[in-house]
Amino acid sequence: MEEKTTFKLKNEEGKEVEYEVLFTFDSDETNKSYIAYTDDSKDEDGRVRVFASSYVPGNDVTQLLPIETEKEWKIIDTILEELQKEAKGELED
Protein backbone atom coordinates (compact mmCIF):
# COMPACT_ATOMS: atom_id res chain seq x y z
CA MET A 1 0.00 0.00 0.00
CA GLU A 2 1.30 3.43 -0.92
CA GLU A 3 2.06 5.84 1.87
CA LYS A 4 0.07 9.06 1.66
CA THR A 5 1.89 12.36 1.50
CA THR A 6 0.10 14.96 3.61
CA PHE A 7 0.59 18.53 4.75
CA LYS A 8 -1.30 20.95 6.96
CA LEU A 9 -2.61 24.43 6.21
CA LYS A 10 -4.68 26.86 8.22
CA ASN A 11 -8.09 27.58 6.75
CA GLU A 12 -9.99 30.89 6.78
CA GLU A 13 -11.05 30.32 10.41
CA GLY A 14 -7.45 29.67 11.49
CA LYS A 15 -8.11 25.95 12.02
CA GLU A 16 -5.36 23.58 10.90
CA VAL A 17 -6.57 21.22 8.16
CA GLU A 18 -4.69 18.18 6.85
CA TYR A 19 -4.53 17.73 3.08
CA GLU A 20 -3.46 14.71 1.05
CA VAL A 21 -1.25 15.28 -2.00
CA LEU A 22 -2.89 13.68 -5.03
CA PHE A 23 -0.11 14.46 -7.49
CA THR A 24 2.47 17.04 -8.49
CA PHE A 25 3.72 17.88 -11.96
CA ASP A 26 5.84 20.36 -13.88
CA SER A 27 4.48 22.13 -16.95
CA ASP A 28 6.80 22.92 -19.84
CA GLU A 29 4.11 25.27 -21.17
CA THR A 30 4.12 27.55 -18.12
CA ASN A 31 7.53 26.65 -16.62
CA LYS A 32 5.82 26.14 -13.24
CA SER A 33 5.31 23.29 -10.81
CA TYR A 34 1.81 22.36 -9.64
CA ILE A 35 0.27 20.36 -6.83
CA ALA A 36 -3.24 18.90 -6.59
CA TYR A 37 -4.51 18.04 -3.13
CA THR A 38 -7.66 17.25 -1.14
CA ASP A 39 -8.99 17.34 2.40
CA ASP A 40 -11.51 14.61 1.44
CA SER A 41 -14.43 17.01 1.96
CA LYS A 42 -17.33 16.72 -0.46
CA ASP A 43 -19.06 19.36 -2.57
CA GLU A 44 -22.83 19.78 -2.85
CA ASP A 45 -22.92 17.02 -5.50
CA GLY A 46 -21.12 14.55 -3.25
CA ARG A 47 -17.83 14.70 -5.14
CA VAL A 48 -14.51 14.94 -3.31
CA ARG A 49 -13.11 18.46 -3.45
CA VAL A 50 -9.75 18.81 -5.18
CA PHE A 51 -7.61 21.92 -4.84
CA ALA A 52 -4.66 23.01 -6.98
CA SER A 53 -1.83 25.48 -6.55
CA SER A 54 1.48 26.28 -8.12
CA TYR A 55 4.61 26.07 -5.98
CA VAL A 56 8.36 26.54 -6.12
CA PRO A 57 10.08 23.16 -5.57
CA GLY A 58 13.27 22.76 -3.60
CA ASN A 59 12.63 25.22 -0.79
CA ASP A 60 12.64 24.10 2.85
CA VAL A 61 9.20 25.65 3.30
CA THR A 62 6.88 25.16 0.34
CA GLN A 63 4.69 28.14 -0.39
CA LEU A 64 1.51 27.42 -2.30
CA LEU A 65 0.74 30.05 -4.90
CA PRO A 66 -2.57 30.75 -6.67
CA ILE A 67 -3.30 29.51 -10.18
CA GLU A 68 -3.26 32.74 -12.14
CA THR A 69 -4.51 32.04 -15.65
CA GLU A 70 -7.23 30.17 -17.50
CA LYS A 71 -4.48 28.36 -19.42
CA GLU A 72 -3.08 26.96 -16.14
CA TRP A 73 -6.54 25.75 -15.07
CA LYS A 74 -7.03 24.03 -18.44
CA ILE A 75 -3.72 22.17 -18.04
CA ILE A 76 -4.71 21.01 -14.54
CA ASP A 77 -8.24 20.05 -15.65
CA THR A 78 -6.82 17.97 -18.51
CA ILE A 79 -4.55 16.03 -16.15
CA LEU A 80 -7.36 15.48 -13.64
CA GLU A 81 -9.63 14.17 -16.40
CA GLU A 82 -6.93 11.77 -17.61
CA LEU A 83 -6.36 10.47 -14.09
CA GLN A 84 -10.11 9.96 -13.61
CA LYS A 85 -10.31 7.99 -16.87
CA GLU A 86 -7.38 5.81 -15.75
CA ALA A 87 -8.95 5.22 -12.32
CA LYS A 88 -12.31 4.30 -13.86
CA GLY A 89 -10.59 1.95 -16.29
CA GLU A 90 -8.80 0.21 -13.42
CA LEU A 91 -12.08 -0.18 -11.53
CA GLU A 92 -13.79 -1.75 -14.56
CA ASP A 93 -11.00 -4.29 -15.17
How high is the pLDDT of residue 87?
A: 77
What is the tens place of the pLDDT at every residue in 13-65?
999 999 999 999 999 999 999 999 999 999 999 988 999 999 988 767 778 99
Instruction: Count the residues in the chain.
Output: 93
pLDDT at 1 over 60: no
Query: CA–CA separation, 90 vs 39, rounded Å?
Result: 23
Tell me the HSE value of 20 on the side-chain side, using a 13 A CA sphere. 11
Burial class of residue 15, CB neighbours in 10 A (0-12, 13-18, 19+): exposed
Of the pLDDT bands very low, low, confident and very high (cuts 50, 70, 90), residue 91 is low
